[in-house]
């Protein structure tokens, strides 16, 4: 974990409980949603909505797969996510669909 920065607070949180921080400017999900199948990822995103203000944003930091020519390492990670978690690495269309489902 990096050094503290003014205005940024790192904390542990269970995604499937209510978000304890309300009205944050940014809710950062770094390398989180690729660990979960679509149904659970949508649940994680929906659980943020009650805590958000009109100007709050969700920042999703996950990889977006190309449609063709995926590097072997990325294909391996995708297969691992599927076999270990029933999840996947998503392409841009899959990300759009996922986010639209929670809106």
Cα 93 to Cα 14: distance, rounded to the nearest angstrom: 27
List Cβ neighbours of 28 (8 Å cut-off, separation of 6 or more): 59, 61
The residues annotated as belonging to the active site are 34
């Amino acid at each position: 974990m990096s050094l503290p920065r003014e205005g940024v607070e790192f904390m542990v949180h269970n995604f499937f409980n209510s978000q304890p921080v309300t009205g944050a400017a940014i809710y950062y999900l770094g390398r989180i949603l690729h660990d979960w199948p679509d149904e659970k990822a949508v649940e994680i995103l929906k659980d943020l909505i009650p805590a958000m203000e009109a100007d709050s944003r969700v920042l999703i930091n996950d990889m977006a797969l190309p449609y063709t020519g995926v590097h072997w390492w990325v294909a391996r990670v995708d297969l691992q996510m599927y076999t270990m978690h029933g999840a996947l690495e998503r392409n841009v269309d899959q990300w759009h669909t996922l986010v639209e489902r929670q809106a």
